[in-house]
Every structure is written in C-alpha cells, then in structure tokens.
Amino acid sequence: MDDRPDLHAATELVTEVVTSIDESRLTATTPCPEYAVGDLLDHLAGLATAFTLAARKEGLDAHSGPPPLGSADRLVAGWKQVIPQRLAELAVAWDAPGARDGMTKAGGIDMPGEVGELVALNEVVTHGWDLAAATGQPYAPDAATLAALAGFTSQFPREGSPGAFGPWRATADDPTALERVLAQNGRDITWSPAAPAG
C-alpha cells in the first residue's frame, strides 16, 4: 500500500484559498507574526519553487543559506495565476520516480528526500491555514493529508525551532487533527484577524 502523502490534495486546497484572496487584503495581518498576507504569498511562491527543485534534485547548491523572508515588495506579478501553477508543479515533482530517494536540500538545509516531501506538505498546509485564517476563508484539509502530517509534526521539539516553527501551542482537550498539527507548528489555533498576532 502506498502511504505517500498526497500533495495534490493539499496544493489544490491552498490554490482555492490563494485565488479567493482579494488584492485589498494584501496588507492584512496573518497568524505568522512577521508576515502580512502579501508577504506570506511571496513566501509561498518561493517555497513552492524551492521544494519543486528539491524533488527534482536541481540547483541544490545555488543557495547555501536560508531564503530571505517573504516580502510583498517581491510578490510576483499575476500571483493568482503564478502561485497555483507553482503549487501544481510542486505536487507533480514529488510524484516523479526517485523524488523521495537519496538526499536533497531546501532552504539551505540538507535532508532525506522522503523528509523533504513531508516538509513541503507541512509548509503548504500550514501556510494555507495562515492565509485562510487571515482572509476569513474556510479551510479543511482532507483526513489523509492530516494523517500524513500528524506523525511528522509530533516529532517537532516542543520548544520550537528558530526560523522554522514556534513552540507547541495549547489546544483544547480534544483537538481536531488540523488543530493538533497547527499547534505543533506553533500556531495559535484561536487566532483571528481581530486579535494581535503572536
């Protein structure tokens, strides 16, 4: 049985979120304290490309350090078309034979290919929620996607990892699968646009 995560389901869901964002919302706050919506869209565009290259094992030494923070000032023109295209390419790239084999690199970090795929999935799902929460959209990843992430995010250190994800956050006594994954990524699942980010 193939237990690989389905990046197509996740990227299609996030595409729906991206294409529903109004230009007027680009300066709105998000659950990522350092990012407004436009900044986060730029980050999503960049990580989609980075993890597509990671799957293909292409250009891995072009950038030795972490990528710059996302910035709305660099947001690609036609982002409502470009970001969905990059997300689709990301999902296809990880379907290719050999994508999970051996070592790869993204954001200046070496990792096994199978880990790279999970990191890509986690980035897409978590930032998809960030954007949905910031712009008042529904967001419901499928059960298989959340199951694939659950084992991965449960291994994250509870104190967080600087530059990657924050400390685990509190949840209700019986959190949903999505709430658990988000909390293990350091997200405040009670965040709303009216509340301060943090």
More confident position, 37 or 170 = 37
Q: Which of 2-6, 74-78, 97-101, 158-162 has the least mean pLDDT?
A: 158-162
pLDDT, tens digit, 9 for 90 and up, residues 143-160: 999 999 988 988 876 665
Residue 197: predicted pLDDT: 47
Model pTM score? 0.91
Residue 98 is predicted with a pLDDT of: 94
Confidence of residue 198 (pLDDT cuts 50, 70, 90): very low
CB environment 29-54: b (16+ within 10 A), e (fewer): bbbbeebbbbbbbbbbbbbbbbbbbb
Taken in order 113, 184, 38, 89, is the CA torsion positive or negative? positive
pLDDT of residue 26: 97
Residues in a beta bridge with 110: 105
The whole-number average pLDDT for the span 32-44 is: 94
CA distance 147 to 4: 11
Mean pLDDT of 14-22: 98
User: Is residue 15 over pLDDT 70?
Assistant: yes
Q: 36 forms bridges with which residues in the sheet?
A: 29
Please compute the mean of the pLDDT values over residues 169-181 and round it to a whole number: 83
Q: Tell me which of 1.20.120.450, 2.60.120.650, 3.30.70.2190, 1.10.260.40 is the CATH number of domain 7-140.
A: 1.20.120.450
Mean pLDDT of the chain: 89
Residue 180 has pLDDT above 70, yes or no: yes
Contacts of 6 (CB under 8 A, 6+ apart): 142, 144, 145, 148
